[in-house]
């Protein structure tokens, strides 16, 4: 009761602010666009075959009820504030889209009677056929679906997912939005989901050196894709993915890729980064054709590629940040310490990786340390573990042992410098 009372009271306050904020911003933008000239539409030919289903106005309207209810199922004030931030940002981004890229809905609804007709009448009093892309209804549908599902399980979660799917479909079957509005709304919903994570916070730190070089390359790729959107809208997707990766290398760190210690990607990161991950997957498949899958190192520790078949070691330390946990290791003891590719981790992260490796080895007897190719990140962590495991080793000897076990590994001058610093820290 002591926890729920402040949540309820604050929820009432937030609702009293959000409701007028939503109706004023959305309504004013709609009225403004109605007075503009030359408002066009983007409609695919196949959309003309979408049926008009009057009863779907009920799930369509139900989003308003779920919007209000969402504030009161939070379990902490912090969660509630993050939800408010997401909902407010949804309105702001959607209204900016309506002003910058105004579109008009083109289908004419037939006359409807009964409850459905009354509900459509209420909608038409407020909602003119503008405010189309990105669909605010779809943005909120994504955000609220994610919010409710975190508080549900089993059959209730399945029911929730089914209902929110019906809400998403209803924007088309009520002839309220075109398909382009749904796609852009979904993208914006995922971006907000990524931008305001459920837990944790962004750690802004401007990187330099190789981090910045790689960030620049990914940013250049994003710009190329943005230019390509003049040819096809679908290039917005890889553009967003490459921009997020660029931010992870430059200012946000590996946390921007949103992979946790259990190898799970957030739903938003899974979809937003899919074009980049697909490219990384193809690259991995290409370069691992001639590489050994696993290379034993010492005392139950092995290095290897991202496993596609169950490995012999009983535990797995995953160092990739680009891929979710491999299905091949679902039955293995597993921990993930995600690292960015081709750059050094910070000393604290390297220590976490080495400590995790040793804990898995001690508990399970054998452990596979893998990144994508088993050549860089896993080699660095394995060498650092050797220096910790045997303080008499020099960096050159540890590197030589890793190279002897897996000749294809790559140690850059930056790796060697980090290992020298690591050697000093573990022997003090």
Active site annotation includes 371:
yes
3-state secondary structure the chain: CCCHHHHHHHHHHHHHHHHHHHHHHHHHHHHHHHCCCCCECCCCHHHHHCCCCHHHHHHHHHHHHHHHHHCCCCCCHHHHHHHHHHHHHHHHHHHHHHHHCCECCCCCCCCCCHHHHHHHHHHHHHCCCCCCCCCHHHHHHHHHHHHHHCCCCHHHHHHHHHHHHHHHHHHHHCCCCCHHHHHHHHHHHHHHHHHCCCCCCCCCCCCCHHHHHHHHHHHHHHHHHHHHCCCCHHHHHHHHHHHHHHHHHHHHCHHHHCECCCCCECHHHHHHCHHHHHHHHHHHHHHCCCCCCEEEEECCEEEECCCCCCCCCCEEEECCCCCCCCHHHCCCEEEECCCCCCCCCCHHHHHHHHHHHHHHHHHHCCEEEECCCCCCHHHHHHHHHHHHHCCCCCHHHHHHHHHHHCCCCCCCHHHHHHHHHHHHHHHC
Q: Of 74, 141, 336, 371, which is the active-site residue?
A: 371
Residue numbers annotated as active site? 371
């Amino acid at each position: 009761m002591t926890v729920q009372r402040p949540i309820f009271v604050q929820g009432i306050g937030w609702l009293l602010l959000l409701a007028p904020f939503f109706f004023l911003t959305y309504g004013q933008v709609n009225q403004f666009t109605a007075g503009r000239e030359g408002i066009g539409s983007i409609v695919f030919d196949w959309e003309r075959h979408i049926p008009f289903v009057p009863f779907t106005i009920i799930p369509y309207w139900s989003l308003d009820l779920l919007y209000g209810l969402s504030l009161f199922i939070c379990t902490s004030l912090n969660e509630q504030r993050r939800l408010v931030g997401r909902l407010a940002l949804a309105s702001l981004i959607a209204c900016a889209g309506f002003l910058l890229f105004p579109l008009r809905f083109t289908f004419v609804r037939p006359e409807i009677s009964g409850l459905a007709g009354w509900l459509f009448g209420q909608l038409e009093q407020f909602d003119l056929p503008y405010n189309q892309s990105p669909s605010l209804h779809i943005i909120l549908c994504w955000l609220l679906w994610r919010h409710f599902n975190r508080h549900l399980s089993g059959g209730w979660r399945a029911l929730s997912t089914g209902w929110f799917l019906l809400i998403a479909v209803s924007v088309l079957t009520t002839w309220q939005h075109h398909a382009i509005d749904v796609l852009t709304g979904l993208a914006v919903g995922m971006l907000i989901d990524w931008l305001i994570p459920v837990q944790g916070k962004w750690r802004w730190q401007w990187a330099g050196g190789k981090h910045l070089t790689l960030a620049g390359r990914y940013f250049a790729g994003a710009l190329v894709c943005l230019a390509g959107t003049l040819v096809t809208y679908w290039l917005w997707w890889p553009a967003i993915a490459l921009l997020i990766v660029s931010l992870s290398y430059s200012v946000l760190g590996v946390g921007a890729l949103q992979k946790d210690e259990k190898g799970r990607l957030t739903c938003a990161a899974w979809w937003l980064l899919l074009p980049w991950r697909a490219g990384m997957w193809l690259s991995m498949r290409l370069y691992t054709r001639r590489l050994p899958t696993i290379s034993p190192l010492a005392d139950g520790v092995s290095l290897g590629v991202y496993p596609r078949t169950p490995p012999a070691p009983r535990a797995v330390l995953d160092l990739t940040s680009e891929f979710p946990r491999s299905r091949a290791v679902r039955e293995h003891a597993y921990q993930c310490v995600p690292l960015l590719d081709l750059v050094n981790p910070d000393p604290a992260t390297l220590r976490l990786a080495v400590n995790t490796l040793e804990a898995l080895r001690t508990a399970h007897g054998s452990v596979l340390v893998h990144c994508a190719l088993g050549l860089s990140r896993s080699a660095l962590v394995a060498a650092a573990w050797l220096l910790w495991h045997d303080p008499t080793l020099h960096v050159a000897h540890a590197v030589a042992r890793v190279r002897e076990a897996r000749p294809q590994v790559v140690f850059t001058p930056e790796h060697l410098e980090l290992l020298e610093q690591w050697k000093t820290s573990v022997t003090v």
